[in-house]
Structures are given as structure tokens and as C-alpha cells.
Chain A
Amino acid sequence: MAMESELVGASLRRPVTLRYPFERRPVPPRFRGRLSWDAEKCVGCGMCVQVCPAFALELVGKGPMAELRYYLNKCVFCSQCVESCPRDALTMTEEYELADYKHKIYEFRRK
């Protein structure tokens, strides 16, 4: 019996639900979404592969021309690879609607 004031307040409030596919909440400034790779900057050192806790990254080939394979279904979005990259070749995008029926594997290629 101690919540009447709450009830009055709630009855005057508008609903906060968003009509999702049409309206979206903006992502927070430090949001960690899908990974993206900059081929120009990457030197193929493999640091990202070593620190990935979920084994979601794999180097394809060796040396400075190595390419990256990114297993989206394994990624835990911790952004440790972004932090460990000595050349800032990796960034986290703001993309978050990533659910899919099949395992998504991104082949990052040098053109």
C-alpha cells in the first residue's frame, strides 16, 4: 500500500516501447559491434589471432600479405583484437543486427 504515488505517476507517463524495426535506439559511444578490417594498414603480424579469447580470428596465408578470416558466430565482441593491433587495422563497427540461420564467416580479402 505504499506505491499509490507510483501508480499515479505511471498512468500519466507515455509508453517507452520503441516500434523496433522502424525505430531504433542509438548505440552507445563505445559500442562494440561487428569487426571490420583495413587491408591497407594490416601487416599480418597475427597479434589479433593470439589474443582472441574465442578463437574467432584466423590468419590465411603468411607474412605481410596474410588475410584474415573472421568467424562471427564465435566472436564475443570484447574488442581485445582492436586494442592489441599495433597498426590500428581493426575497428569495431556499430552494426549489431547479426543474427542468422547459418554460421557467418567473413573472409577479409586484400584486393
Chain B
Amino acid sequence: MSGESEKAVFEVPVGPQHPALKEPILLLFKIEGDIIDDVMARPAYTHRGIEKATEARNYIQNIYLCERVCGICSGIHTLVYTQGVERLAGVEPPPRAKYIRVIFLELERIHSHALWLGVAAHELGFDTLFYYVWRDRELVMDLLELVTGNRVNYAMSTVGGARRDISDEAAHQIKKGMEIFRRRLDVYTGVVEKDPTVRKRVVDVGKLSPHKAVELCAVGPTLRATGVKRDVRADDPYQAYDEIPFNVATYPTGDVLAQIMVRVMEMYEAANIIDYALDHMPKGPIRTKVPWNIAPNEVISRGEAPRGELFYYFKSNGTEKPERVKIRTPTLANLPAVCEMLKGYHIAEIPIVFASIDPCLSCTGRFAFIDERHDRSWVWTGEQLRAYRRRYYKWQNR
């Protein structure tokens, strides 16, 4: 080495089998010393072809297929799917069904955020908190099991309403459970706010400015943690959210602590929403009939998943099967933001900063080309896709 200090930039690949959550993603870091200079994320190691598979199944079968897009947010996926099909068919679900949907969605939000809080604690090396949070998450899981019969794939929402009713007894148990959960949450809020080991790892780490967050189209808690008040439940109310008063939780600092605090506040909000919804649930039927074949139509449907805005696009063609279903999951929208958040921090902070967007990577798989004969694989960019579209339509209209 010469006397002058030379900047040595290393490329460090993290993943596909490594970072934060146990799902495959490649993060290619350019490292200068110990500081991250640049990041390139490559998702799509788990392409499952769900969008294509929806075209081969009828609207009823697709409920259960879309439910399995994501394991943790299975409730919101069914809801946004069924909401979209209802819009396609021009059917309005009964009011009681809307409240039932809201209740199990908020229960799901609590369990998802509690799961994330545990995972975040684990990434910080604070495994005690991880075990305790997950123990209390079981409270919510048991309530979900009580109402829906299952811990994960609830199969609760169907095209035209809800599949199961919430009895008075179950409502009483949910309320009791929420009370206990709120008390437990007070403890964890105190731990996160006061514990010096937590604070040292999360304060001023992974900062994102509100301007940059909006520019990179961040969604959900990642965006709200920068102080931007944006939530599909409040901005474009679906189901019964326009009748339920709630606050959109925001936190101004934009670091990992803000991500934790936003999610903790959202858990409190969700508990309040559940209590309100149980008190104000109207009586009546829980489902309406929906035609088997749906006339040609085109709609979008969106909802606020625990991780952010979930977006579905539908096109029907008059048969029992959809012509096209397009799914945009929140993690895909948050990937550019997390790449920005990682820049300028140390290698040791990769796990917690990356985990702070609550990545659910199996939902982000898109497509890749694989040529088996020549042993090549490649991915198309947006520009190449547009060029292909031009070629394709030229060929069709020749």
C-alpha cells in the first residue's frame, strides 16, 4: 500500500441464504471499510407462479390460492381478493360481514406485528424479549383459532361475505384477550423505550427521510415511521373502516426505533378497533350470493396489510375463471426504501435494518428466464418487457 489512503471498495454478497428473516434474497453490498456504500437487492428466488395459477382456477378456488401467497398475512390476502371479486361482480357484502372481516384482520395485524417485534428483538440479540413477545402472541393466535378454527390460514372471508360468524361468547373472549394483551404490550413498550441495550442498537440506525420515503414509494409502517400519515384504511376506507374511529400511528424520527414504535402503537390501535367493532357489530346475515360466472370487467382492490399497502388487479372475461390477477405485495414496494436505509451504516447493522421493513420475501418473487440447454438464466428489465410488448402486439396485428 502506498502512503496515500486508498479507498478499497469490496463487494460483499449477503444471501440468498442468510439475512434477517429466513427467506431467500440476495443483497449485494458495496462496502468501504465497514460502511455500506451501495446496495443492490435481488429478490425472486422463490417464484411460485401463483398469478398464473389463478387463471386456471375458478373464483372460489382462487380464494384459497391467494390465501397462500403469504403465510402471515393470509387474512388480508383473502380479504383483498374477495373484495376485488365482489367489485367485479357488483355485489356488496352485508354490514355484519364487513365488521367480522375487520375484526379478524386486526387480530391478524396484532399477531403479525407481535411476530415482527419478536424477530426484531432476535436480530438485536435480545432473545429474552423475542421469547416473551412470542409467548404473548399465542394469546392472539388462540383467539384467531377460536374464531376461525385455524391458526394461520383462517379461510374466513369468502366472495360475498364472511364464512363464520362471531358468537357473543367468542366476542367476550376476544375482549378479555385484548385486555390481557394490552397489559402485556405496556411491558414491552417500556422495555423497548427504556432498555439501554435496545436503544443503542435502534436509535439513529437505518434512518430514512420522509421526502426520500415518499419518493421511493415506501408503504405501510416503513413510511409511517418517517412521520408521513398514509394508511389505506384511513385514506381509501374499505370494509367497515369508514365507520370505525382510529388513529393512524406515526413516529417522526425515521430510524429503527420509529419502526418499532409505529408497530407497537398500531397494535394498541388494532386492539381498540377490535373492541369498537365488537361493540358496534350490526346484526343480520353474514353473506350474500354471488354469481358463478362474472361478466367482463376490470377492477382494482387494495387494503392495508400489516406490512403496508396490498394491491390486487382483476380482469374478468365472463367465465368462472379470471382472465388476469395481478398481485403487488407491500415488501416489493419497500425494497427500494430498505436499500436506501442501509446506506451509510455498518455491516453489523444489516440484519436489524433489513428486518425493520418486516420483509416477507416469498411474496416478492417475479419471473426469470432459464435456458436449460445453454445453461443461462436472466431477468427482463421494464424496458425489455415494454419492447417485448411492442413486438408482441405488432405480431398479433400483422
- Residue ranges of A at the interface with B (Cβ–Cβ < 8 Å): 1-3, 5-6, 28-32, 50-54, 76-80, 83-84
Query: Can you pick out 8 interface pairs between chain A and chain B where the beta carbons lie within 8 Å of each other?
Result: A1-B195, A1-B196, A1-B197, A2-B195, A3-B187, A31-B149, A53-B64, A78-B153
CB closest residue in chain B, given A7: B128
Query: Which residues from chain A contact B379 at a C-beta distance below 8 Å?
Result: none
CB closest residue in chain A, given B145: A28
Smallest CB separation, B322 vs chain A (Å): 14
Most B Cβ at <10 Å: residue of A53, A77, A84: A53
Contact with A along B323-352 (1 / 0, CB 8 A): 000000000000000000000000000000
Quick check: B194 and A2 within 8 Å, CB to CB? Answer: yes
Quick check: A52 and B61 within 8 Å, CB to CB? Answer: yes
Quick check: A53 and B57 within 8 Å, CB to CB? Answer: yes
Query: Which residues from chain B contact A84 at a C-beta distance below 8 Å?
Result: 60
Query: Which residues from chain B contact A30 at a C-beta distance below 8 Å?
Result: 146-149, 164
Quick check: A6 and B132 within 8 Å, CB to CB? Answer: yes
- Residue ranges of B at the interface with A (Cβ–Cβ < 8 Å): 57-58, 60-65, 67-68, 128-129, 132, 145-150, 153, 155, 158, 163-164, 187, 190-191, 194-197
CA distance A41 to B284 in the complex (A): 30
Partner of A32, one of B147, B149, B190: B149
Query: Which residues from chain A contact B132 at a C-beta distance below 8 Å?
Result: 3, 6
Smallest CB separation, A35 vs chain B (Å): 14
CA distance A2 to B191 in the complex (A): 5
Smallest CB separation, B174 vs chain A (Å): 13
Q: Beyond A1-B195, A2-B195, A30-B164, is A53–B149 a contact (Cβ under 8 Å)?
A: no
Query: Which residues from chain A contact B63 at a C-beta distance below 8 Å?
Result: 53, 80
Smallest CB separation, A83 vs chain B (Å): 7
Query: Which residues from chain A contact B62 at a C-beta distance below 8 Å?
Result: 53
Quick check: A32 and B150 within 8 Å, CB to CB? Answer: yes
CB closest residue in chain B, given A79: B155
Quick check: B194 and A78 within 8 Å, CB to CB? Answer: no
Most A Cβ at <10 Å: residue of B60, B128, B146, B147: B60
Quick check: B155 and A3 within 8 Å, CB to CB? Answer: no
Partner of A28, one of B61, B149, B155, B196: B149
Quick check: A51 and B61 within 8 Å, CB to CB? Answer: yes
